[in-house]
Amino acid sequence: MSNYPVVAIAGVTGAVGAEFIATMDRRGFRVGRLKALASARSAGNTIDFRGQRIVIEELTEHSFAGVDIALFSAGGGISRKFAPIAVKAGAVVVDNSSAFRMDPDVPLVIPEINARRIREHKGIVANPNCAAITALVPLWPIHRANRIKRVILSTYQAASGAGAAAMEELVESTRASLNGEAYQQKVLPHPYAFNLFSHNTAIDPATGYNDEETKVIQETRKILEDQRIAVGVTCVRVPVLRAHCEAITFECENPITEHDVRELLSGAPGVKIVDDRVKNYFPMPIDASGQDDVLVGRIRKDLSDPTGHSISMFVAADQLLKGAALNAIQIAELLPQRVMA
């Protein structure tokens, strides 16, 4: 692959698409030429990229001729239709949707954890679910040293996870509420201002788990390559504009202390400890927004486990960055290399 690849972004007008552009620029990602792809209604508009005005093209079956890397963030249906076309045209696809994550032939990659899997791709590399990334980046250094048997987590997921339209709906519904005006939501199923609700994905009537929760369970096992790990999860949408938070309690095979966890996470790639008990200052969305690292704090012994095998903690991460665009760009940066992590 050329050191200056032709890069296509499918879904360039969305929230993650905009972060693809900003992240490539900020990290100095080499691009020979950029193709901006979106739906027909956006075709003809322009975006700025490194001092150039790039005309947005309609995404079609012919969009990928000459493309080396295709970054997808346009939804699972679009990915299922167009990613194989891009691969057939010679591109390597990094897909941000759930379309291929559980395909046994598609690597599901968080570079801090399993970058070596990138070299196994057959044209597509999948970007994990944002909630899974947020949990696993800090859990991995612990799991590697002292196998985690069980994880219980609750998510506090921001509007950014549902896209730019949901972010706008939160802003507008909050404004209407403060002004005493009626507001009819169009994107999310429930009123968003000053409210929270179960994650807006379909509920499995048999298990009671929604799709987001099922993704976290399945993807955790695939990424950690451990089908025995027990995962319980509750995913909730909260009225925060950007950056997800999670309360995590995990049980290890061997006893583990707060000190052990801090030592393992100190200097771990992609992790920043924010854990000031005196000032009651811990990870918050307002601090995680715009940051590459997963913020980790409230590290403490799980008092419900007298055996000393369990720890509780609280984490925050920018869903649009490490939960989406940044992770995908990190994968793309490694594509030309023989990754031996």
Residues designated catalytic:
130, 244
Number of other CB atoms surrounding residue 196 within 10 Å? 13
For residue 297, what are its two tokens?
A: 């704090």
- Helix segments in the chain, DSSP class H: 15-26, 76-88, 111-114, 130-145, 164-178, 211-224, 258-265, 285-288, 326-334
Helix (H) or strand (E) holding 152: strand 148-157
For residue 305, what are its two tokens?
A: 């486990």
**Rounded distance between C-alpha atoms, residue 146 and residue 91, angstroms:** 39
**Rounded distance between C-alpha atoms, residue 94 and residue 22, angstroms:** 17
Q: Pairing relation of β-strands 310-317 and 294-301?
A: antiparallel
**Rounded distance between C-alpha atoms, residue 231 and residue 302, angstroms:** 17
Instruction: Give how far the C-alpha of residue 121 lies from the chain's centroid of Cα atoms, to the nearest Å.
Output: 20
For residue 338, what are its two tokens?
A: 């023989």
Coil, helix or strand at residue 59: coil
For residue 261, what are its two tokens?
A: 């966890």
The phi and psi torsions of 307 (rounded to 5 degrees) equal -80, -15
Let me know: does 36 contact 73? Beta carbons within 8 Å.
no
